[in-house]
Structure 1
Amino acid sequence: MITKDSKTHATTQDQRKARLAAELRANLLKRKAQARSRRTGAADERPDGIAAADKDDPA
């Protein structure tokens, strides 16, 4: 006999599995995009990095 609690528990598990699957797909797409950008040799446009390397005056 299936009770209301077991249905809720199953639904919660299904929702969790779907959410984790979606996050996994998003992570995979992100990693593939990173690999493609590294393979093409595009310059890294991020502003972060070692600030001391940009200075002309050594400290």
Structure 2
Amino acid sequence: MQSCKRATELMSQQLDRELSGSEKLSLKMHLFMCRHCRKCDAQFKVLHRLASARSQVDKPDKD
């Protein structure tokens, strides 16, 4: 099993780029076995959604 440190790196990277097949599988297996990383992954996703929504609100209207 990969380390939690590596798993969190992949969680962060998946928000910015498409993970390779082996990275996806490795992360999925780790998340299956590690409840702490599952919680961290959920928090990453919430923060990413909030940041994306906020950036949409802050965009000036173009006329």
TM (normalized to structure 1)? 0.48
TM (normalized to structure 2)? 0.45
| Structure number with bigger Rg | 1
